[in-house]
A and B are shown apart, each in its own frame.
Chain A
Amino acid sequence: MASAAEPHILLVDDERSIRDPLAQYLAKNGLRVTKAADAAAARQALAAYGVDLILLDVMMPGEDGLSLCAHVRATSGIPVILLTAKAEETERIVGLEIGADDYVVKPFSPRELLARIKVVLRRAGERPSRSRPAGAEAFAFGRWVLKTGERELVDAEGVAVPLSTGEYNLLLALVTHPRRVLTRDQLLDLAQGRELAAFERSIDNAVSRLRRKIEAEPKQPQLVKTVWGGGYMLAAEVTRL
């Protein structure tokens, strides 16, 4: 493995006009970058070096990114972030289901990509033994299923209940920590996936909106319970599907 101070990134993209400036940008920001122009070169690089994370373009001539991602997932625990030119929902979900840890849609902000790389690296560092990363998962609780690939909440009858980004992150934090009291600060920490400065003001509002959407009787919540003096808790069995 490369040194912890300088994570080693394998950048796989057939477009030189992206590969070169992106590698330059990432190197400038403290990452060691190895470039590969196609899947074959990427496989060679994987065999030759210890890699901490793979940035993988989906659409490539020859073997495509999804196929390479599946191979990486089957043979190692190296996290993968997909670079895709398609904003199509299905593409994204397929990528996450194959086992990618995250994805960014071209054109992306390099700063945002850098932030995501750091998040994924941190998660991989926290759970070194886990080979199955949090790509596309589904959590069943009560009569609900939260799907992280589609980022949607579906009830027992298959009706999708759209959530705002903040509500989604909050619910994800709750279902990934079932039957644990989470303080407002902890929730903020967990739910703050990205720049949600304005979200801070209203954890309580978000909880009451969530309750209205998922509780049978929002006034007497059975799923998201308030713990006096503590915070909130998901009072339900959560099953990973």
Chain B
Amino acid sequence: MSRLLPRSLLGQMLLLMGAALLVAQLVNFGALLNEQQKLSLAQNEGPAIFRFAQVAATVAAAPPDQRAAALADLPAGPGMLYRLGRTSVVDRGGLGRQPEVERRLEGALHEAGLPLRPVRGAVRMEQSPIPPPPGRPPPLIPAHARLKVVFLSVDLGQGQWLNGRIPAPHFDHFLAHRLLVATFALFALVFAAVFWIARRLAAPLRDLAEAARRFDGAGGAPVQPRGPSDVRAAIEAFNAMRSRTLDLLDEKDRMLGAIGHDLRTPLASLRIRAENMEPPDERERLVATVEEMHATLEDILVLARTGRSSEPARPVDVAALAEAVVEELRELGRPAQFVPADRLVLDVRANLLRRALRNLADNAVLYGGGAWVRIEGDAREVRLVVEDEGPGIREDRLAEVLEPFRRLDESRNRENGGAGLGLAIARAVAAAHGGSLTLENRTEGGLRAVLSLPSRSVAG
């Protein structure tokens, strides 16, 4: 059920205001109707009741056997009928008695000199007009109008009831129309107002949400503060947070740059001095250590900066990129193979992507005895697939190896090279392009790494 309710600010406000307005209008309508009934009793039924009381007083004054004659002598108004009977027409016709009408009738009879008589009163709406008596001008009430007819009875004593049927003017439908129109006007006005204010609220909030979603740590414009002051305050707070975040990220970049520079210089110095060292095998070991420290430093810097790379995204033939990575391995004499593929252009950061794929292929060569690389693309995504024929990775550790500094050879011996950042970098690069990196064991043995990029890849 709650799924049907609107979730947006605008929808909820409209629904709430609509419901509240409806209830208020119903209460209002009820009160008005009650009031109108009283007013109508005085204005419309009042004269009919007074008239009937006059007739009743005249007829009651005559002896019972001459009452019929007395009644016949009285002039009748248009549409009015008076009859004498043994019972009340209200009881006979099963009409709903109306205490208010009866109370007024009693009052009118009392004034006409007929107190404390049993009375009946009822009001009925009639569709069929009563034709005007011949020779009379047409009644003021149009013939097609619905008529309100008042039925009145009074016990005259001696087993005689005087029954009257008197049409009363009726304007209730007009009132109902007016009320309906007023209600609609009110709804329209309030809805327009709510719509306006809700949009005034919702539009800047939407901007804010959009800006927060798009925020990639690389700048862009702050959100323009607008809307009511509370929303404005929220936007300004967001902008302040945004610039603090940017400052922090800039600070991080500066720090990484400084670390990189400060470590590269002594490493460079070590590297040069090592060249002069004797004996040669000791020198080679020192050179290897320095180069590994350098590789790790570079990996850390790349990983830390992936989200804010200064390299812009641009159209690149990703198939050629994958082939170039494989060819470079082959040029170094490593076992690697690429399945030739057609040109496939994506907006990517070529250097980052190259590094990511290189890491995957290096791992395949190192742990799986060779890298078999292919590229697959469909309308949704492009997949760079790197397979090997090694032992694979235990299923329960597949996720773990994507974490930085996580290596599967527990001894952490460095002979296989790397600090365990290769896969973490590949994953970060995939994420920076809106894609993903997944590892799985092939059924035929070996590991399969799939770097997927969205087909309209835009590095964010």
What residues make up the interface of A, taking CB atoms closer than 8 Å to B?
15, 17-18, 21-22, 24-25, 28, 59, 85-90, 106-111, 152, 157-167, 196-199, 206, 209, 212-213
The answer to whether the Cβ of B110 comes within 8 Å of any Cβ in the partner chain is no
The answer to whether the Cβ of B354 comes within 8 Å of any Cβ in the partner chain is yes
Cβ 8 A contact of A163, one of B264, B324, B333: B324
How close is B235's CB to chain A, nearest CB, in angstroms?
34
* CA gap between A22 and B273 in the complex, in Å: 8
Q: Is the CB of A164 within 8 A of B328?
A: yes
| B328 surroundings in chain A (CB, below 8 A) | 164-166
From 319 to 333 in chain B, residues with beta carbon under 8 angstroms from any chain A beta carbon are 320-321, 323-328, 330-333
| A160 surroundings in chain B (CB, below 8 A) | 314-317, 350
Cβ 8 A contact of A25, one of B264, B276, B343: B276
Majority DSSP secondary structure for residues of B touching A = helix
Given contacts A17-B266, A166-B331, contact A107 B317 (CB under 8 A): no
Q: Is the CB of A25 within 8 A of B265?
A: no
* CA gap between A85 and B287 in the complex, in Å: 18
Q: Is the CB of A196 within 8 A of B314?
A: no
**Can you list 7 A-B pairs, Cβ within 8 angstroms, ordered by A?**
A85-B268, A107-B270, A152-B350, A159-B316, A161-B316, A161-B320, A166-B327
Closest 3 CB pairs of A and B: A164-B327, A107-B268, A106-B268
Q: Is the CB of A25 within 8 A of B267?
A: no
Closest-by-CB residue of B relative to A59 is B261
Q: Is the CB of A158 within 8 A of B314?
A: yes
Q: Is the CB of B290 within 8 A of A107?
A: yes
The answer to whether the Cβ of B442 comes within 8 Å of any Cβ in the partner chain is no
Interface size, B (range): 35 or more
Closest-by-CB residue of B relative to A83 is B268
* CA gap between A164 and B269 in the complex, in Å: 30
* CA gap between A21 and B294 in the complex, in Å: 19
Given contacts A22-B272, A107-B271, contact A85 B320 (CB under 8 A): no
Q: Is the CB of B327 within 8 A of A21?
A: no
Q: Is the CB of B272 within 8 A of A25?
A: yes
Q: Is the CB of A163 within 8 A of B267?
A: no
| B294 surroundings in chain A (CB, below 8 A) | 107
How close is B290's CB to chain A, nearest CB, in angstroms?
7
The answer to whether the Cβ of B282 comes within 8 Å of any Cβ in the partner chain is no
| A152 surroundings in chain B (CB, below 8 A) | 350
Q: Is the CB of B275 within 8 A of A107?
A: no
The answer to whether the Cβ of B340 comes within 8 Å of any Cβ in the partner chain is yes
- Sample of 16 more A-B contacts, CB < 8 Å, known A15-B269, A86-B261: A18-B272, A25-B272, A59-B261, A85-B261, A108-B271, A157-B315, A158-B314, A160-B315, A161-B320, A161-B343, A166-B327, A196-B331, A198-B330, A198-B331, A213-B317, A213-B323
Q: Is the CB of A109 within 8 A of B271?
A: yes
Q: Is the CB of B327 within 8 A of A18?
A: no
| A161 surroundings in chain B (CB, below 8 A) | 316-317, 320, 343
Q: Is the CB of A110 within 8 A of B327?
A: no
The answer to whether the Cβ of B311 comes within 8 Å of any Cβ in the partner chain is yes
The answer to whether the Cβ of B260 comes within 8 Å of any Cβ in the partner chain is yes
Cβ 8 A contact of B267, one of A89, A106, A162: A106
Closest-by-CB residue of B relative to A157 is B315
| B314 surroundings in chain A (CB, below 8 A) | 158, 160
How close is B203's CB to chain A, nearest CB, in angstroms?
37
Interface centre among B269, B272, B290, B333 (most CB of A within 10 A): B272
| A196 surroundings in chain B (CB, below 8 A) | 331
| A111 surroundings in chain B (CB, below 8 A) | 275
| B330 surroundings in chain A (CB, below 8 A) | 198
Closest-by-CB residue of B relative to A206 is B327
* CA gap between A42 and B168 in the complex, in Å: 118
Given contacts A28-B276, A90-B310, A159-B315, contact A17 B264 (CB under 8 A): no
* CA gap between A87 and B355 in the complex, in Å: 13
Cβ 8 A contact of A162, one of B261, B290, B324: B324
How close is B327's CB to chain A, nearest CB, in angstroms?
3
| B98 surroundings in chain A (CB, below 8 A) | none
